[in-house]
Amino acid sequence: MRIELFHGSPRVVSHPSLAQARPHNDYGRGFYTTRQHDLASEWACQRGNDGFVNTYSLWMDGLAVLDLLDGTHSTLEWVALLLKHRHFDLRLPTAELAREALTERFCPDLSGVDVVVGYRADDSYFSYVRSFVENALPLSALEEALVLGELGEQTVLVSGKAFAQLIFEGYEAVSAERYYPQFLQHDEKARTDYLQLLDRQRPSLSDLFILDILREEMGPDDPRLSSRVSR
């Protein structure tokens, strides 16, 4: 089976390489693409300059895929991957403890995986993740933000085998005049939604906070964490 993928960039990327990939992205070292052309166009222009949308064909035959949106994975598995690979400052010692515990208990094993599919975590979303690991936001609010965040879906090639089955099909120039305002609008909406979410939070005894999860030593199969991420 062949799927079409797009990669937004300031430049033409005709020969992507795993060796050149940066390690501190959402799911670690890999080539980040999307099946959404508009999203790739925004990525290409996110610095306010014109860019390029590179188009590829990926032949999926024989590739091992971790689909974080297939309805079998929890929000905390996705968050654990972010905490493991993305670098951002946490203000409280308990938050560092939470980072360690979440990555140890919930982080999916990517060994043997060729392709990861999941939500894209833009920088504004880390306000939610930071508040959660600092025990200021319950898990239910984090999950609500994930569902409503319009983060977009990305397909990430993480193995040499996947790169060997990727074919560059061409590129097109995209205009910052059109797509940079869209990028800014989505970013501003995410920040505004975050403030509104905090404002309407009403604590409940049934809410699960990160310290509850740590104290109870909950894991991915705990029935109290029944919510699953899906499209």
The residue segments making up the domain with residue 25 are 2-221
pLDDT(129) > 80? yes
pLDDT of amino acid 186? 80
Query: Any bridge partners for residue 33, and if so which?
Result: 155
- 126 band by pLDDT with thresholds 50, 70 and 90: confident
pLDDT(150) > 70? no
pLDDT of amino acid 187? 77
Number of helices (H), then strands (E), in the chain:
8, 9
Q: Is residue 93 part of a domain?
A: yes
Q: Is residue 229 part of a domain?
A: no
Domain count, the chain: 1
Over residues 81-103, the mean pLDDT reads 86
* Alpha carbons 13 and 211: distance in angstroms, whole number: 44
What's this model's pTM, rounded to 2 decimal places?
A: 0.89
Task: Identify which has the larger pLDDT, 75 or 40.
Answer: 40
Classify each residue of 53-78 as buried b or exposed e, where b means 16 or more C-beta atoms within 10 Å of its C-beta. bbbbebeeeebeebbbeeeebbbbbb
Task: Identify which has the larger pLDDT, 128 or 209.
Answer: 209
Q: Is residue 227 part of a domain?
A: no
Residue 83 CB-density burial (10 A; 0-12 exposed, 13-18 middle, 19+ buried)? buried
Q: CA-based angle 90:91:95, to the nearest 5? A: 60
Over residues 3-14, the mean pLDDT reads 97
pLDDT(62) > 70? yes
- 159 band by pLDDT with thresholds 50, 70 and 90: very high
Task: Identify which has the larger pLDDT, 51 or 148.
Answer: 51
Q: Is residue 230 part of a domain?
A: no
Each residue's pLDDT tens digit, 9-61: 999 999 999 988 888 888 999 999 999 999 999 999 999 999 999 999 999 99
- 170 band by pLDDT with thresholds 50, 70 and 90: very high
- 113 band by pLDDT with thresholds 50, 70 and 90: very high
pLDDT(72) > 80? yes
